Amino acid sequence: MAQRILKLVQSEELRRSKSDRLIAHYIERNLAEIPFETAKSIASRLELSPMTVGRYLRRMGFDGLDQLKHELRRGSSNPAWQVKGPVDRLREDIREGKLLAGLIQEQINNLGLVYELTTSPEWQQAIEALISASEVYVAAYQNVRGIAQYFASQLSYTRSRVQFVDGLNGTYSELLDGSVEGRVLFLHDVRRFAAKAKPLAMEARRAGVKVILYTDEYCPWAAEVSDICLVVPGSHGPLWDGAATTIAVMDLMLSNIIVVLGDEVSERVGMLTRLQDVFGDFEA
């Protein structure tokens, strides 16, 4: 049953408008959470009206969210009706409405979705692109900027010619001047989306740069501006966006690259360690 629903929301017929794409992405990425949702809660997360969500469900062929839940319940493989969480105390705290327990459970659920991402064709394409690129440029904005800088710094230990670009020169010319072929832009952007992100991705592709976009389920333009799109769950909590999911994805990407490159990484780390000793960056 879940596969039928996924095929529905992935169809062109149900992805015509911006609101269509937002709802489709949400259902696709959060199928296991649908049993705990209402049309109002989905609408609130997506900043849409409940009526918009209701109309979309009717176009799917369901008379409201309860009917969709009923169809999912008939399937045997949907994890939403399995025991959620490996620890009895965590489950008990969630039942009592303790905020942190709910947030921890959300992180556990998100890590399960991250594992699914690592088995996808897009993941392997991203790994291959980051390894084979002549140069890798990493860009991000707002509250994910620091995580992207961390990723660029760590990636530079695995391969040469990695640079974080901040756009302070007003042109991104180091990325867009066309002087080197085979460049890759790894762009991080999650909602609220930065005004510069979409134009940068579009200009990069126009300049022949391959674009890997790391984003969340709320991004309506991801497929339009990227060659490879990595989509993770968005923030569903009552507080601010958490960084645990993004950091987990970045660390797994780095680990995957290290495994593939093998001895090349060891040689590079050895060279960088020697240079750090030469220039006295760390205590002896």
Asked whether residue 161 falls in the same domain as residue 44, the answer is no
Is 93 a domain residue?
A: no
Among the three residues 24, 51, 76, which one is the final residue of a domain in this structure? 76
| CATH assignment at residue 17 | 1.10.10.10
Domain count, the chain: 2
The DSSP output letter for 194 is: P
CB 213 within 8 A of CB 189: yes
pLDDT at 238 over 60: no
Least trusted range by pLDDT, from 20-34, 146-160, 180-194: 20-34
Picking from 20, 48, 76, the residue at the C-terminal end of a domain is 76
Q: Are 233 and 110 in contact (CB under 8 A)?
A: yes
pLDDT at 94: 59
Whether residue 121 sits in one domain with residue 39: no
- Residue 156 in domain: yes
pTM beyond 0.95: no
The tokens describing 102, both together, are 């709910």
Q: Please determine, for residue 42, whether its predicted confidence score (pLDDT) is greater than 60.
A: yes
Q: Tell me, what's the pLDDT at 86?
A: 45
pLDDT of residue 242: 66
Task: Report the pLDDT value the prediction gives residue 96, as an integer from 0 to 100.
Answer: 65
**Stretch 229-233: mean pLDDT, rounded?**
88
145 and 65 belong to one structural domain: no
Give domain status of residue 102, yes or no: no
Q: Is residue 39 part of a domain?
A: yes
**Contact (CB, 8 A) for 32 and 80:** yes
Structural domain includes residue 160: yes
Same-domain status, 200 and 258: yes
| Residues 237, 134 share a domain | yes
Residue 83, domain member (yes or no): no
Residue among 163, 235, 234, 170 nearest 199 (CA):
170
Looking at the fold, whether 161 and 270 belong to one and the same domain comes out as yes
- pLDDT given at position 154: 96
Pairing of strands 210-216, 162-164: unpaired
CA dihedral 172, 176, 180, 184 (to 10 degrees): 80
Residue 218: pLDDT band with limits 50, 70, 90: confident
Q: What is the CATH number of the domain that holds 182?
A: 3.40.50.10490
Q: Is pLDDT above 60 for 80? A: no
Verify that 223 and 137 share a domain, yes or no.
Answer: yes
Give yes or no for a cis peptide into 192 (omega within 30° of 0): yes
The range of the structural domain enclosing residue 14 comes to 1-76
Q: What percent of the chain has pLDDT over 90?
A: 51
Confidence of residue 217 (pLDDT cuts 50, 70, 90): confident
Which of these three, 22, 54, 76, is where a domain ends?
76
**Judgement on whether residues 11 and 145 belong to the same structural domain of the protein:** no
For residues 136 and 270, membership in a common domain is answered with yes
User: Is position 87 within any domain?
Assistant: no
In this predicted structure, what is the pLDDT of residue 134?
98
Q: Are residues 47 and 135 in the same domain?
A: no
On whether both 158 and 261 belong to a single domain, the answer is yes
